[in-house]
């Protein structure tokens, strides 16, 4: 038996404390796979781990109430008994001291599973063992034993290298023979372990895995299987599966590498090894109360473990719940799946009722419920009562219409519950919902699934014209917060901010907008417009002399698109020379926010303004021009001047500009 099967402490490498490899092959010993290919072979080949036919699925299993009574009615004085607990194992056994004990030593295990609603018991009677003597004539006997795992549903027969024969009887809770269809499996044969099946028992089939390395021989009225792979304690595929049809008793032979005396010489192996092993048993096994103590001391044990799939309603089916999406967008539909398998049962074990309930989280509402035959993917909803109770929290109840029908047993079912978020539900601190379903059989305490969790999110889509903005289609946990930031391209200004198709006060959200307590999808659109260009041209008449540089000053006042009053000043110099009767033009441009702007020229000495012309997107108002860049990308005007006063110092290094005083804005 693989050591991981029995948890810590049971080190099967101790099975060969002696040195050397036990070679038990001889004439007639062939690979079990080769034997299976021969005509008329009782052996079939299966994939390892393939599910047994449910007709052969009775389970002898350990339960929390399993007990053991060990008896020796042979009358032998001072029976050398074993009872040990430790390493997740409890075992009972005895060292045989006389052939008179054949058929007189037995182990009675109660509560080894359930059948037809009653506890099942197992009686093991040790009926035979061979005569082993050393060359000097010294007699040796086997160590008999039964072991139970305290953590798994396995029991095992203990053996030494001397084999023995055990009769297994399946009894009901009154101690009467109980005929069942069952599968018995000898797992992970190795180290020369022998597993013998009596040919006269009610055997329905023998099987080995398709890549097994087990050897086989037919002799003495037994089918024997063994493996001498001493380095394969992790190779479970060296196993044998036996099916019994309507049997209440069967016989096994178990042992180590000396089970076939004709396979090798005693002088080479048996006499010394059996003698040493027997002394170890005597010194380290008998009387020890702890599995750890005897194992650590070097006691050598082997295991042949019985197991099978469950047959009969030992426990209600355990449902498993899953969801097709663990992350859901808003009110999108999604589906819970609840899977369970109804065990194969005899009519006497049929359920009175089978009911699944699934209370929905408050945030969800149920759309529909469908039941499928999971093995055949067929809608079998008509075989069930389906009830959806609407309320503050919806509840689903699915119950079998007819539990007395054989149709339901041995089948796997999948209940699909399609749901979506309630539109009116508001997520707060958490965006996660969770729940679990329960399956009850015959009004007993439901077997519950694990909690299934689903998170919800919404999406913020963003759009920016002539600027940049936080990436679009971002997921925001339902009830959560998201900050969207944005900025213009160079030379552009914020024109508008629209949230969910409603324009907002852009002055409050100049560079960002925050979505809080998000319980819906949102969209934000930001539009930037290019700053308009305002062009002022100066046209001058009159001779220019090299006595200084004419400078003209303009004042631009008005209200921008945001309603903010602003004032700008701009100077224009004319260092270029021109003739007295010539006309000289020079312009400047300004990129200022869109708005309505009044432009006036501040009077200067010697140059008189003669008028304003070439106005584009504006109007002349006296000595000023009113330009509109709120509704236009450009606006223009030309101010005309001529030289009216000339003096010795008029164009030297001094000019007098006259500024008006502005009070307040």
Full 3-state SS string of 396-463: EEEEECCCCCHHHCCCEEEEEEEEEECCCCCCCCCCEEEECCEEEECCCCCEECCCEEEEEEEEEEEE
Give me the pLDDT at residue 281, please: 67
- Closest alpha carbon to 540 in 573, 505, 491: 573
Q: Is the model's pLDDT at 397 over the cut of 60?
A: yes
Residue pair 94/157 in contact (Cβ under 8 Å)? The answer is no
Distance CA 571, CA 574 (A): 10
Give me the pLDDT at residue 646, please: 60
Q: Which residue has the higher pLDDT, 345 or 39?
A: 39
Give me the pLDDT at residue 49, please: 67
Give me the pLDDT at residue 20, please: 34
User: Per residue in 308-323, pLDDT tens?
Assistant: 443 444 456 889 999 9
Q: Span 567-596, mean pLDDT?
A: 83
**Could you say which DSSP state residue 270 is in?**
I
Q: Span 173-200, mean pLDDT?
A: 85
Q: Is the model's pLDDT at 647 over the cut of 70?
A: no
- Closest alpha carbon to 71 in 20, 22, 106: 106
User: Per residue in 528-541, pLDDT tens?
Assistant: 988 899 999 999 88
Q: How many residues does the chain have?
A: 665
Q: Span 35-46, mean pLDDT?
A: 91
Residue pair 203/270 in contact (Cβ under 8 Å)? The answer is no
Give me the pLDDT at residue 611, please: 92
Residue pair 190/238 in contact (Cβ under 8 Å)? The answer is yes
Q: What percent of the chain has pLDDT over 70?
A: 78
Q: How many CA atoms lie within 13 A of 385 on its CB side?
A: 13
Q: Please list the residues that pair with 613 across neighbouring strands.
A: 638
Which helix (DSSP H) or strand (DSSP E) does residue 173 occupy? none
User: Per residue in 330-389, pLDDT tens?
Assistant: 999 999 999 999 877 656 567 889 999 999 999 999 999 999 998 888 999 999 999 999
Residue pair 216/29 in contact (Cβ under 8 Å)? The answer is yes
Q: Please list the residues that pair with 165 across neighbouring strands.
A: 128, 253
Q: Is the model's pLDDT at 120 over the cut of 80?
A: yes
* Mean pLDDT, all residues of the chain: 82
- Closest alpha carbon to 169 in 114, 116, 122, 208: 122
- Closest alpha carbon to 192 in 221, 153, 233, 154: 233
Distance CA 17, CA 272 (A): 13
Q: Span 587-610, mean pLDDT?
A: 88
Residue pair 650/543 in contact (Cβ under 8 Å)? The answer is no
Give me the pLDDT at residue 311, please: 40
E strand map for 163-273: 164-171, 180-186, 193-198, 203-209, 215-219, 222-227, 240-247, 249-255
Backbone angles phi, psi at 431, to 5 degrees: -105, 15
- Closest alpha carbon to 318 in 291, 342, 290: 342
Which helix (DSSP H) or strand (DSSP E) does residue 657 occupy? none
Worst-scoring range by mean pLDDT, 70-84, 158-172, 434-448?
Answer: 158-172
Give me the pLDDT at residue 211, please: 85
What separation in angstroms does the CA of 371 have from each of 66, 90, 221, 342, 367?
A: 38, 44, 51, 14, 14
Q: How many CA atoms lie within 13 A of 447 on its CB side?
A: 17
Give me the pLDDT at residue 373, please: 93
Q: Which residue has the higher pLDDT, 197 or 10?
A: 197
E strand map for 287-380: 302-306, 320-323, 327-329, 334-341, 354-359, 364-373, 378-379
Q: Span 457-468, mean pLDDT?
A: 96
Residues 6+ apart with CB under 8 A from 305: 1, 5, 154, 155, 156, 157, 185, 186, 187
What DSSP line would sit under 201-215, residue for residue?
Answer: S-EEEEEEETT---E
Residue pair 333/46 in contact (Cβ under 8 Å)? The answer is no
Give me the pLDDT at residue 630, please: 83
- Closest alpha carbon to 263 in 304, 302, 219: 219
Distance CA 177, CA 91 (A): 25
Q: Which residue has the higher pLDDT, 421 or 173?
A: 421
Q: Please list the residues that pair with 464 across neighbouring strands.
A: 526
Give burial (CB, 10 Å; 0-12/13-18/19+) of 117: exposed
What DSSP line would sit under 509-527, residue for residue?
Answer: -SSEEEE-S--S-EEEEEE
Residue pair 634/533 in contact (Cβ under 8 Å)? The answer is yes
- Closest alpha carbon to 258 in 278, 242, 241, 240: 278
Which three-class secondary structure state does DSSP give residue 296?
helix
Distance CA 108, CA 169 (A): 9
Worst-scoring range by mean pLDDT, 268-272, 444-448, 592-596?
Answer: 268-272
Highest mean pLDDT among 14-18, 22-26, 150-154: 150-154
């Amino acid at each position: 038996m693989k050591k991981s099967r029995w948890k810590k402490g049971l080190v099967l490498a101790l099975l060969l404390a002696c040195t050397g490899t036990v070679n038990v092959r001889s004439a007639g010993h062939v690979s079990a796979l080769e034997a299976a290919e021969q005509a008329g072979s009782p052996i079939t080949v299966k994939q390892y781990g393939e599910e047994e036919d449910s007709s052969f699925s009775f389970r002898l299993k350990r339960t929390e109430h399993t007990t053991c009574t060990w008896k020796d009615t042979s009358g032998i004085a001072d029976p050398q008994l074993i009872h040990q607990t430790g390493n997740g194992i409890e075992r009972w056994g005895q060292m045989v001291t006389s052939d008179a004990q054949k058929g007189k030593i037995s182990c009675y295990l109660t509560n080894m599973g359930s059948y037809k609603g009653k506890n099942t018991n197992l009686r093991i009677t040790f009926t035979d063992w061979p005569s082993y003597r050393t060359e000097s004539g010294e007699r040796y006997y086997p160590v008999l034993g039964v072991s139970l795992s305290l953590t798994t549903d396995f029991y095992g027969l203990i053996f030494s290298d001397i084999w023995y024969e055990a009769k297994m009887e399946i009894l009901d809770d009154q101690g009467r023979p109980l005929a069942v269809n069952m599968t018995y499996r000898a797992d992970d044969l190795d180290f020369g372990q022998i597993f013998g099946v009596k040919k006269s028992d009610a055997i329905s089939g023998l099987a080995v895995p398709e890549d097994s390395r087990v050897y086989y021989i037919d002799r003495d009225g037994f089918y024997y299987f063994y493996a001498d792979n001493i380095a394969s304690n992790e190779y479970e595929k060296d196993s044998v599966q036996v099916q019994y049809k309507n049997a209440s008793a069967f016989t096994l032979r178990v042992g180590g590498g000396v089970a076939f005396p004709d396979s090798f010489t005693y002088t080479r192996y048996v006499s010394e090894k059996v003698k040493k092993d027997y002394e170890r048993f005597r010194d380290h096994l008998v009387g020890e109360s702890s599995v750890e103590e005897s194992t650590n001391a070097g006691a050598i044990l082997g295991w042949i473990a019985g197991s099978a799939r469950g047959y009969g309603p030992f426990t209600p089916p355990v449902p498993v719940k899953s969801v097709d999406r663990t992350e859901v967008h808003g009110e999108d539909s999604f589906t819970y799946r609840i899977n369970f398998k109804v065990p194969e049962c005899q009519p006497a074990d049929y359920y009175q009722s089978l009911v699944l309930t699934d209370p929905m989280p408050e945030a969800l509402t149920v759309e529909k419920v469908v039941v499928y035959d999971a093995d055949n993917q067929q809608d079998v909803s008509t075989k069930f009562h389906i009830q959806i109770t609407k309320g503050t929290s919806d509840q689903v109840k699915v119950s079998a219409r007819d539990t007395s029908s054989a149709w339901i047993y041995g089948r796997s079912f999948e209940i699909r519950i399609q749901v979506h978020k309630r539109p009116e539900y508001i997520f707060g601190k958490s965006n996660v919902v969770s729940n679990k379903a329960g399956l009850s059989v015959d009004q007993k305490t439901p077997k519950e699934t694990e909690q299934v969790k689903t998170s919800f999110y919404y999406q913020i889509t963003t759009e920016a014209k002539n600027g940049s903005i936080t990436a679009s289609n971002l997921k925001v946990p339902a009830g959560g917060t998201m900050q969207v930031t944005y900025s213009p391209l160079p030379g552009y200004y914020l024109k508008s901010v629209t949230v969910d198709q409603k324009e907002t006060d852009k002055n409050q959200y100049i560079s960002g907008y925050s979505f809080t307590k998000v319980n819906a999808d949102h969209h934000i659109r930001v539009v930037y417009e290019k700053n308009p260009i305002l062009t002022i041209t100066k046209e001058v008449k009159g001779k220019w002399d090299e006595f200084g540089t004419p400078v003209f000053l303009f004042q631009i006042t008005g209200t921008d698109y945001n309603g903010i009053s602003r004032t700008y000043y701009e100077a224009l110099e004319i260092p270029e020379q021109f003739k007295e009767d010539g006309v000289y033009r020079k312009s400047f441009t300004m990129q200022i926010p869109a708005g309505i702007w009044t432009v006036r020229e501040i009077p200067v000495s010697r140059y008189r303004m003669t008028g304003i012309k070439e106005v584009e997107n504006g109007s002349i108002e006296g000595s000023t021009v009113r330009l509109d860049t709120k509704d236009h990308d450009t606006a223009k005007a030309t101010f005309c001047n001529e030289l009216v006063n000339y003096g010795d110092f008029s164009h030297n290094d001094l000019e007098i500009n006259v500024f008006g005083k502005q009070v307040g804005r």
